[in-house]
Amino acid sequence: MEGNLNLTLKIWRQKNASVAGKFETYQVSGISTDMSFLEMIDVLNNRLIEEGDDPVAFDHDCREGICGMCSMYINGRPHGPNRGVTTCQLHMRSFKDGETITVEPWRASAFPVIKDLVVNRSSFDRIIAAGGFISVNTGNAKDANNIPINKDDADEAFAAAACIGCGACVAACKNASAMLFTSAKVSQLALLPQGQIEAATRAQAMVAQMDEEGFGACSNTGACEAECPKGISIENIARMNREYFSATFTSK
């Protein structure tokens, strides 16, 4: 409840995938520090509509940091300046009066721009479809407590499963690698006894799909972990590499 901000916004505008985009500059004033970043964009958009301009297209849905849909690259960082926060949970109290804020879409050839700040992340869905599951049909399951699972393993699997699939890891990576995303799913399932049966084929299939989508290689810089809004650990990449190499060496 600090008071109001006047800001300069430099926002990437691009009509569709086949035309070039460019930055446009907008001034916004009277922005409450209690607003979320997306609410600030709402204010701008309603003004643009009233003035007869096309509002800025951006992806968003739950606005509580869990659906993974929002995806703005703010001042050179995915989801903006704060650690462990998605764009929708970023609040304007993190900015200063008079600041210039630059907003871009995720930049990666595997995430082509659809319009303005909206990109196509269906490559992530295809990576999961390649192997990010346990092959158990509905009705196959035995009693849930039949297989006790070490609490530490269950907690670690949960930590990996907390990935929201937003793509910040790809946007942060200089190689646009999807290793953190892919490894989080590989790790979650490899850590659980139910997932171990398919661990080898899973790692191989998901890595192959990741490569096919055009994501880059991992060079262990760690930007993905630093920018991940859900704190997904880079140790998952090491675990995926182990799974992948052991699968490659022992493959039939």
Partner 1 sequence: MTKLDAKIPGGNLADKWTTFKSSVSLVNPSNKRSLEIIVVGSGLAGASAAASLAELGYKVKVFCFQDSPRRAHSIAAQGGINAAKNYQNDGDSVYRLFYDTIKGGDYRAREANVHRLAEVSGNIIDQCVAQGVPFAREYGGLLSNRSFGGTQVQRTFYAAGQTGQQLLLGAYSALQRQVGMGNVKMYTRHEMLDVVTIDGKARGIIARDSVTGALERHFGHAVLLCTGGYGNVFYLSTNAMGSNVTAAWKAHKKGAFFANPCYTQIHPTCIPVSGDHQSKLTLMSESLRNDGRIWVPKKENDTRKANEIPEDERDYYLERRYPAFGNLVPRDIASRAAKERCDAGFGVGTSKMAVYLDYAAAIIRYGQGEANKHNMHNPSDEEIQAMGKAVVKEKYGNLFDMYKQITGEDPYEVPMRIYPAVHYTMGGLWVDYNLMTTVPGLYALGEANFSDHGANRLGASALMQGLADGYFVIPYTIGAYLAAEIRTPAMSTDTPDFEAAEKAVRDRLETLMNIKGNKPVDYFHKRLGKIMWDECGMARSAEGLKASIKEIQALQKEFWSDVKIPGEIDNLNPELEKAGRVADFLELGELMCIDALDRDESCGGHFRTEFQTEDGEALRDDEKYAYVAAWEYEKQSKFKLHKEELKYENIKIAQRSYK
Residues 46-105 that bind partner 1 (CB under 8 A): 46, 48-50, 52-55, 57, 59-69, 84-85, 89-91, 93
Q: In angstroms, how far is the first alpha carbon of the chain from the final one?
A: 63
Which of the 8 DSSP states describes residue 19? S
User: Closest Cα to residue 11, out of 96, 83, 100, 95?
Assistant: 100
Site for partner 1 in 171-200 (CB under 8 A): 188-189, 192, 194-195
Which range in 19-27, 98-106, 159-167, 211-219 contacts partner 1 by CB under 8 A? 159-167
Nearer to partner 1, 177 or 188 (CB): 188
Please report how close the Cβ of residue 212 comes to partner 1 at its closest, in angstroms: 13
- Under the binding rule (CB under 8 A), the answer on residue 164 touching partner 1 is yes
Which range in 19-27, 112-120, 175-183, 216-224 contacts partner 1 by CB under 8 A? 112-120
Vertex 123, ends 119 and 125: CA angle to 5°? 110
Site for partner 1 in 120-149 (CB under 8 A): 120-122, 124-125, 128-145, 147-149
Nearer to partner 1, 64 or 219 (CB): 64
Task: Report how far residue 55's alpha carbon sits from residue 3's, in angstroms, rounded to the nearest whole number.
Answer: 26
Please report how close the Cβ of residue 140 comes to partner 1 at its closest, in angstroms: 7
Nearer to partner 1, 25 or 120 (CB): 120
Nearer to partner 1, 127 or 173 (CB): 127
Task: Report how far residue 216's alpha carbon sits from residue 188's, in angstroms, rounded to the nearest whole number.
Answer: 22
Structural tokens at position 199: 């661990």
- 77-112 CB burial, b ≥16 within 10 A, e <16: bbbbeeeebbbbbbbbeebeeeeebebbbbebebbe
- Under the binding rule (CB under 8 A), the answer on residue 18 touching partner 1 is no
AA identity, residue 225: E
# binding residues, partner 1 (CB under 8 A): 81
